[in-house]
Amino acid sequence: MISKEGKDMKPFVVNFSDIGIDFKGNHIVRKYNDIKHIFKTTDPTLERENPVIYEVFEGPIQEKEGELMFLITILYPGTVNGEFFMTKGHYHTVENTAEVYLGLRGKGLILCQTKKGEFEAVEIGPNKVVYIPPFWAHRTVNISDEPLIFFAVYPAHAGHDYETVEKEGFKKRIFRGDNGILFVEQ
Ligand SMILES: [Fe+2]
């Protein structure tokens, strides 16, 4: 089929289903203890059980200019003392690169912000396409009680800058409230 090792790409198709995604690329798994520092508080039960918070299935694409990377993320439901499970979030290392998300299942928010201090939260779910412009960091939050599943595509050479987000965080955190969700200034 296709090679990640430098052979010329040919058109191809991959399938996914409810029970398994076979994208033939990297499979990234983030467990609670890997990313617990991104949450405001810690939870000893989660530390002990160390559940998978999210996993990513990438296409078999080389990370080079001209290619498009695609992937599916499954972000599981749950909270850390009320703060919804979320992804680490990142800027692109090549900042002038955009990204498109297509919601497949569940319901979530994409938190977006720029280094100039702008902040937006947009909904993702089935039948919703989210456009993340260049220069905007992005983090996904699952605000539903089922896995949030979405497809993403972006320039394959974009790279991931997690460090800036780790240092500065996102402007707002999303908690479960009595009547829905709560935005909490961090
Ligand atoms: Fe991205």
Q: What does the pLDDT read at residue 177? A: 92
Q: Where are the domains of the chain?
A: 27-185
Indicate if the alpha-carbon torsion angle 124, 125, 130, 136 is positive or negative. Answer: positive
Measure 92 CA to ligand 1 centroid, in angstroms: 6
Measure 178 CA to ligand 1 centroid, in angstroms: 32
Residue 17's DSSP bridge partners are none
Average pLDDT over residues 95-115: 96
Least confident of 3-12, 104-113, 136-145: 3-12
Instruction: Output the DSSP codes for 124-186.
Output: E-BT-EEEE-TT-EEEEEE-SSS-EEEEEEEETT---B-HHHHHH--SEEEEEETTEEEEEE-
Measure 10 CA to ligand 1 centroid, in angstroms: 24
Q: What does the pLDDT read at residue 10? A: 82
Confidence of residue 1 (pLDDT cuts 50, 70, 90): very low
Q: Is the pLDDT at 19 greater than 50, yes or no?
A: no
Q: What does the pLDDT read at residue 31? A: 98
Measure 107 CA to ligand 1 centroid, in angstroms: 19
CATH 2.40.50.100 fits 27-185, yes or no: no
Q: What does the pLDDT read at residue 109? A: 98
